[in-house]
Amino acid sequence: MPVCDICSEKLSCDSALKTHLLLTHLEDEVACPLCSLSGVSYDELNFHINTAHSETGREHTPATGEPGYLEGESETGAGLSTVSHLPETHNAVKKQMLRPAGETSGNDGTHEKTREDDMMEPHTSKHRRLSSPSKGRTFSCPLCNLVCTDCFVLQEHVELHLQDQAVSDGAVHVCPMCEVVCDDSCSLQEHVELHLNCSPAGDFYGDMRFAQQLQEEDKRQRKEEEAKREVEEFTKLQRQFGLDNSGGYRKQMERSMERAVSRGHMTPTEFHMKRLEMMETLAAGMDDGQTRTTGLLSALYSFYQRERQDGSRVWLCSESEHFSSSDGDRGWGCGYRNFQMLLSSLKRLEQYTTLHTLPDSFPSIPRVQALVESAWAEGIDPQGASQFNRKLKGTRAWIGATEIYAVLTSLQLRARVVDFHQPTGPGDTHPRLFQWVKNYFSLPSSTGPRVPPRVVKTNLPPIYLQHQGHSRSIVGVEERRNGSICVVVFDPGCSPAEMRKLLNPNASSTQFNRLRKFPAHLKRQQYQVVVVEGVLSEEEKQERVINSRTFQAERIP
């Protein structure tokens, strides 16, 4: 806050100090504030104070040659000054402003040293001489071409320049969030407040909203990633189970024959002949019989009769044919082929031949798909039907135990599904499954009064055996003297050429061993079996159709 050196009155700002000096001390009578001297001019009063009251000691002494230095003033002369604050960056301009036009100072070194000392303080004081300049002196503005005859007018003029320069040379005010340049700090603060709603409560609620936005964005990204992953996994499952609209049996067979032609394994003429035969059999709904092998059960019976192991007993199912996978269903047709094996046995049993619902011939795979769709249309196993969107024809979809159950029920056959849902022995084995199969084949033949022979050929159809990714048919069981049990299986994965080798009367036990499966060979986590145990009446069939809406298999254990 500036203070008048004459009357010691405190003023609010520099402009108020100027007004005070002009009105109170320059226009009125000037009197010495330290004694009773009055009625003198301002220059005389200044000289009086510096000579008569020099012991008061002024803080700042003007450099020789500065404007306002009293004419005739000696080495001891010091001008009366008032204090105002100006930024450090304006000192150089201020120094030039106080020098008359055309005058050079010989004391620049002394003056620069004094100003450098002043710049060491945070706020440098500005000293303004109140003495009148000498008559006839002119003062030019260092920043423009204006020439003044009064140093006070020049000082006020230059300060207007300095205010504009302080604004233009000031720091650049850039928004830290969007890099917008503002004119001053106040504008910058208002601009940033628009970003953050910066208020005593706005910071907290703004941060909460920002955190919520981040959480919502993260949740949205997670949902998108999960949806994308689900689509990819679903596509893989569709491709794996043949539901990717890539064509069914006919298209796969045609592509296989085309590859054979391109590799030189088939001539174009043979391609067209085989394609024509395939279309005819598919139109009739019959299997072409190229992968079918008959007489295997009789060959097995003869083999066990020749192989006389002490204490071993064997039970075989009724006569059944083996169906291998072909080029049209390789990789996905095992369920259909096992159904053909089961059907080939049922058609030879008198108990089922009287049933007019069985197909007259061995159905082709597209025909079996149509039978499953027909069973779904009757309302059997609606949950399973929904998994396939009620469509199998023209696809490479796998079928399992529940689809076999649906077809058998539709044909008025009393089917039974047993689920061995977990291992029951050491090493993930299923001894309960083997014991159950042995009881299925052996119990009917052991009820008679006579001791059954060592090798028994029963009138029971084979067992449909399902596990993850594959299915087979159990056509017999063998119990060794030590109590160990092995099952005899027909695998659709075996080629017709390999199976036909077993028809040779001189076939070795090594060749038959590939049909034997011991507990160590069946170590999947879960197995399901389907067996046929008679014929259903119309009422029983309708009851089973209703119960299949919440179908549950029999579980062991």
3-state helix vs strand vs coil in the chain, percent to 5: 45, 15, 40
State the burial class of residue 442 (Cβ atoms within 10 Å of its Cβ: 0-12, 13-18, 19+). middle
Residue 363: cis peptide before it, omega within 30 degrees of 0: no
HSE value, Cβ hemisphere, 13 Å, CA-based, for 302: 12
Query: Among candidates 168, 129, 126, 122, which has minimal Cα distance to 46?
Result: 129
Determine which one of 14, 329, 381, 491 is catalytic.
Answer: 491
Determine which one of 334, 381, 430, 467 is catalytic.
Answer: 334
Amino acid at 408: L
Residue written as token pair 């569709």: 238
Beta-carbon contacts of 507 under 8 Å, excluding residues fewer than 6 positions away, are 299, 303, 501
Return contacts of 505-509, CB within 8 angstroms, 24+ apart: 505/302, 507/299, 507/303, 509/303, 509/307
Tokens encoding 187: 């504008």
- DSSP-derived letter for residue 245 is S
Say how far apart CA 77 and CA 400 lie, in whole Å.
119
Tokens encoding 104: 């050079």
Say how far apart CA 517 and CA 485 lie, in whole Å.
9
State the burial class of residue 103 (Cβ atoms within 10 Å of its Cβ: 0-12, 13-18, 19+). exposed
In DSSP notation, 408-473 reads HHHTTEEEEEEEE-S--BGGGB-HHHHHHHHHHHHTGGGSSSSPPPSEEE-SPPPEEEEETTEEEE
Amino acid at 275: R
Beta-bridged to residue 31, according to DSSP, are 38
Residue written as token pair 């083999």: 303
- Answer for the pair 82, 17: CB distance below 8 angstroms, yes or no: yes
470 is catalytic: yes
- DSSP-derived letter for residue 267 is -
Rounded to 5°, angle at Cα 483 from 477 and 485: 25
Tokens encoding 100: 């008359």
Q: How many residues does the chain have?
A: 557
Tokens encoding 234: 């679903």
148 is catalytic: no
Query: Among candidates 95, 48, 96, which has minimal Cα distance to 73?
Result: 48
Centroid of chain to Cα 295? 58
334 is catalytic: yes
Say how far apart CA 277 and CA 279 lie, in whole Å.
5
Q: Which amino acids are annotated catalytic?
A: 334, 470, 491
